[in-house]
Amino acid sequence: MSAKGFDVCVSGSGAVAMSLALALSAEGWHVAWSRAPESNKPQQADVRTYALNARAIALLERLRVWPALKAFASPVYEMAIQGDAGGAMTFSAWQQKVAELTWIVDAAALERLLNDALRFAPRVEVVPPLSEQGVPPVKASLLAICEGKHSGTRAALGVEFSRKEYGHWGVATRLKATRPHNGVARQWFRSPDILALLPFNQPDPEASYGLVWSVPQDRARHLQSLTPEDFAVELNDAIRQSDAAAADLVGELTVEAPIAAWPLALAQADRWTGAGWVLLGDAAHQVHPLAGQGLNLGLADVDTLLEVLREAKLKEPWRQAGDERILSRYVRRRQWPTQAMSGLTDGLLHLFADERAPLKDVRNLGMSLVERLGPVKQWLVGRAFDA
Return the sign of the alpha-carbon dihedral for residues 259, 263, 336, 151: negative
Tell me whether strands 161-177 and 253-255 are parallel, antiparallel or unpaired. antiparallel
Residue 223 near residue 215 (C-beta atoms within 8 A): yes
Instruction: Give the pLDDT confidence score for residue 130 in this predicted structure.
Output: 95
- For 155-204, how does the pLDDT look when each residue is reduced to its tens digit (9 = 90+)? 999 999 999 888 899 999 999 999 999 999 999 988 788 899 999 999 89
Tell me whether strands 78-82 and 184-189 are parallel, antiparallel or unpaired. parallel
Tell me whether strands 31-34 and 124-127 are parallel, antiparallel or unpaired. parallel
Instruction: Give the pLDDT confidence score for residue 2 in this predicted structure.
Output: 41
Residue 272 near residue 278 (C-beta atoms within 8 A): yes
Q: How many Å apart are CA 372 and CA 324, to the nearest integer? A: 46
Instruction: Give the pLDDT confidence score for residue 1 in this predicted structure.
Output: 39
161 bridge partner residues: 269
Instruction: Give the pLDDT confidence score for residue 293 in this predicted structure.
Output: 82
Task: List the one residue out of 84, 343, 90, 80 whose CA is nearest residue 189.
Answer: 84
What are the distances in angstroms from CA 196 to CA 24, 48, 189, 245?
A: 35, 13, 9, 16
Q: How many Å apart are CA 228 and CA 234, to the nearest integer? A: 10
Task: List the one residue out of 331, 280, 274 whose CA is nearest residue 301.
Answer: 280
Average confidence score pLDDT of the chain: 87
Query: Who's near 159: CB < 8 A, 6+ residues apart?
Result: 269, 270, 271, 279
Task: List the one residue out of 113, 112, 106 whose CA is nearest residue 49.
Answer: 106
* Residue segments in the chain with a per-residue pLDDT below the cut of 70: 1-4, 39-43, 84-87, 290-292, 344, 346-387
